Amino acid sequence: MTELFGIPIQALFGQLLLGLVNGSFYALLSLGLAVIFGLLGIVNFAHGALYMMGAYAAWILLDSFGIDYWFALVLAPLLIGIVGVIVERLFLKRLYKLDPVYGLLLTFGLALIAEGVFRDRYGVSGQSYNVPDALQGATDVGFMILPNYRAWVVVASLVVCFATWFLIEKTRLGSTLRAATENAALVQAFGVNVPVMVTLTYGAGAALAGLAGVLAAPVIQVTPLMGSNLIIVVFAVVVIGGMGSILGSIVSGLLLGLVEGLTRVFYPEASNVVVFVIMIIVLLVRPSGLFGKSA
């Protein structure tokens, strides 16, 4: 059997895997968005810019300092996390008492600044980042030839996503975090330093976006615009999944990536818009989102 529905099976699974890779990025980013929104009440438009900066951090670390992929995988998210902490301390903390639209507008401004600076420094054409030696090549798994790096991206993001879910839903730290989401003043009264927790949460969300950037660097062209193109799709993912649930954002991210991959096989012209079409359907059928509480 080499064909399924008239499509060569290798191409079908290849696109599905690519969809899963994209879905991993959607999941990592919408997860970060959900955590940040939960605690800070801010929809972080700069999330795409942080993702882009993560990819550039990996590229710069290799290009200018000779630091390889595996160290970059730790170092770049750390750097982006620090950027996040600075952003929260300098800007976001002034907005908590205001309408959430101001958070969106401010982070939109920050995203434009980051994009402009990187565009001025590195141009729009983009840089390519080589797949690390250990993950080059492909493995024959019987029904398809599996590119090692893509498989690694999916596995690594899944592990990180579920680790984050576990941290938030199943640990003591996570329960404090969720309590602060519900009622920050009360948690503060119990002696938890909520402002520090808020700062670190934003930092962690930024680090997740940075990690997604490093993972993405070898599969796509690293360009200043990669972030804003992705963030709009991630917003649609978030509308579909609802920002209330951690697991919901992971699942809807991965699923929508898969659907996008399938669309690329059967009707490539629509692959850019399929996520938005699904968003429309969800808005019509279940306006509060698949995993959202009815508000």
Partner 1 sequence: MQRQPRSFARVGYVVLVAVALAAPFIGLYPVLMMKIMCLAIFACAFNLLFGYTGLLSFGHAAFFGSAAYATGWLIRATGVTPEVGVLFGMGVAGLLGLVVGMLAIRRQGIYFAMVTLALAQMVYFVCLQAPFTHGEDGLQGVPRGRLLGLLPLESDVTCYYVVLVAFVAVFLTIRRIVHSPFGQILKAIRENEPRAVSLGYAVDRYKLLAFVLSAALAGVAGSLKTLVLGFASLTDVHWQTSGEVILMTLLGGLGTFLGPVLGSSIVIALQDTLADRAGSWVTVIIGVIFVACVLLFRRGIVGEYVAFRLRRRLDAK
The residue ranges that bind partner 1 (CB under 8 A) are: 43, 91, 94-95, 98, 100-102, 104-106, 108-117, 119-120, 228, 232-233, 235-236, 238-239, 269, 272-273, 275-277, 279-280, 283-284, 287, 295
Least distance to partner 1, CB of residue 278, Å: 10
Residue closer to partner 1 (CB basis): 78 or 112 = 112
Q: How far is the CB of 279 from partner 1 (least distance, A)?
A: 6
Nearest by Cα to 150 from 30, 28, 4, 15: 15
Q: How far is the CB of 40 from partner 1 (least distance, A)?
A: 12
* CB 83 to partner 1: min, Å: 15
Identify the CA nearest to 87 among candidates 184, 209, 202: 202
* Cβ proximity to partner 1, 196 vs 284, nearer residue: 284
> What would you report as the CA-atom Rg of the chain, rounded to the nearest whole angstrom?
19
Dihedral sign for Cα 145, 149, 155, 161, please. Answer: negative
Q: How far is the CB of 47 from partner 1 (least distance, A)?
A: 12
SS3 call for 117: helix
Q: Which is nearer to partner 1, 163 or 277 (CB)?
A: 277
In this complex, which beta carbon is closest to partner 1, that of residue 119 or of residue 170? 119
**In whole angstroms, how close is the CB of 30 to partner 1 at the nearest point?**
11
β-pairing verdict for 3-4 and 7-8: antiparallel
Which residue number, 8 or 109, has a Cβ lying nearer to partner 1? 109
Residue 138, classed as helix, strand or coil, is strand
- How far is the C-alpha of 222 from the C-alpha of 55, rounded, in Å? 6
**DSSP code at position 132:** P
- Block residue for tokens 């999944």: 241
Nearer to partner 1, 214 or 228 (CB): 228
> Which structure tokens are listed for 52?
């882009």
